[in-house]
Amino acid sequence: MNNPNIVILGAGYGGIMTTIKLQKSMNINEANLTLVNINDYHYQATWLHENAAGTLHHDRTRIPIKEVINREKVNFIQDKVISIKPDEKKVKLENRELTYDILVVGLGFEAATFGIPGLEEHAFTIGNINSARLLREHLEYNFALYHNEKDKKSARLNIVVGGGGFTGIEFAGELANRIPALCEEYDIEKAQVRIINIEGSETVLPGFDPHLVEYAMTSLESRGVEFITGAMIKECKPESIVYEKDGKQVEIPTMTFVWAAGVRANCIVEKSNLETNRGKVEVRQDMRAPHYDDVFVIGDCAQILDPESGLPYPPTAQIAIQQSAVVAHNVKSLASGREMEVFKPNILGSVASLGNNDAIGVVMNDRKLFGWKATMLKKIIDNRYLFKLGGIGLLLKKGKFNVFN
């Protein structure tokens, strides 16, 4: 294949790291490499909960794409993907159409509302820089307005988070750290503010080590977070949320409901004629889509089953970054007619932040960490990613070096 057109859709963890690895391994005259993204930046998705709570400015999370790619090797196009036509080897963008010889689909996720009334219209999400910034500004607006009206006071200061997975718990932890500063700034008694986490399972962080879950809940409860488990969200209204527990429906007044209980692959994937399973492409061992040898799928859009449990691996940054190494190798191999590699996930553990100086984690050999040690590990992981993405310059510019900040 002479100078193939390689098109990468999406600059999330999988897409940007595939681009970086390809630009390092391929010469300028080996391929025409194009990266397409709706924004001109990549962002640390694992930091969005901090942006949403207001404990970390979004500029720290945002990484300009042109600062990490080699513009002599990569053609970057800022545009919105409208559709993928694999039978025609074409991608329709909002402002143009691209043809490809090899395609990498890494378009990320979007919120899944499961048909719950009012979620799409009234709930906040933490899915990207803009949604996190909107949530932060909304929180500050409600605190600022609190003393200027007689009604709706409790709704202004009741913050309800739907979902006790990683996103919901990490946001609650950052919020618990942020609330005292907001109360001081707007002359509000901290006791007036409620942070309520509602989870459908009987425990938060389902699947996590029970002892670490207990530690996490105790840590958050000591800072004012309330937990309601075994409860299902039934409706989201403009000024309240309705949940059901033990057959009874309860309504909580709130103007801030954050939906963190469900995501799905970008809907463009399901509409693209690629074979999907619950919206995701169940990729082959070499990360290619079924029936299309020239289409690779990565990150949140790809589904890979654990052969032992039969369940899909979670769509984490760790998995997407690991996938990028195999996808980059296989894209180059396909272009040059060489042998491809099989993707085998290597789960190194997981860490959940509980605020800027507390966390829980499980690392290799099931070693449990909590408190400052887990916090330090999380920052090491984040810093390592920045170094792999943009070298020492990006690490020094964006990295986190203080365990307690």
pLDDT digits (tens, 9 = 90+) for 72-93: 999 999 999 999 999 999 999 9
Q: How confident is the model at residue 398 (pLDDT cuts 50, 70, 90)?
A: very high
Which tokens hold the place of 137? 């500004």
Report residue 365 CA to chain centroid gap. 26
Q: How confident is the model at residue 1 (pLDDT cuts 50, 70, 90)?
A: low
pLDDT in tens, 238-266: 999 999 999 999 999 999 999 999 888 99
Distance CA 159, CA 142 (A): 10
Residue 326: the pLDDT is 97
Q: What is the mean pLDDT of residues 331-343?
A: 93
Q: How confident is the model at residue 3 (pLDDT cuts 50, 70, 90)?
A: confident
Q: What is the mean pLDDT of residues 167-175?
A: 97
Which distant-in-sequence residues (6+ apart) come within 8 Å of 210 by Cβ? 203
Residue 307: the pLDDT is 82
Beta bridge partner(s), residue 93: 81
Instruction: Identify the CA nearest to 397 among candidates 129, 62, 70, 66.
Output: 62
pLDDT in tens, 346-377: 888 899 999 988 999 998 778 999 999 999 99
Distance separating the N- and C-terminal Cα atoms of the chain: 50
Residue 308: the pLDDT is 80
Q: What is the mean pLDDT of residues 393-400?
A: 94
Q: What is the mean pLDDT of residues 187-209?
A: 94
Catalytic residue among 170, 174, 275, 282: 170
Which distant-in-sequence residues (6+ apart) come within 8 Å of 101 by Cβ? 1, 4, 5, 6, 89, 294, 335
Cα-based torsion angle of the residue sequence 43, 172, 348, 389 in order, rounded to the nearest 10 degrees: 10
What Cα–Cα distance (Å) separates residue 323 from each residue in 106, 197, 268, 350? Answer: 11, 33, 21, 17
Q: How confident is the model at residue 314 (pLDDT cuts 50, 70, 90)?
A: confident
Distance CA 84, CA 6 (A): 14
Q: What is the mean pLDDT of residues 212-230?
A: 97
pLDDT in tens, 96-129: 999 999 999 999 998 888 999 999 999 999 999 9
Detail the DSSP E strand segments found in 176-323.
194-199, 225-229, 232-237, 240-245, 248-253, 256-259, 263-265, 281-282, 295-297, 302-303
Residue 87: the pLDDT is 95
Question: Which ranges in 239-349 belong to alpha helices (H)?
Answer: 267-270, 317-336
Does residue 170 have an active-site annotation?
yes
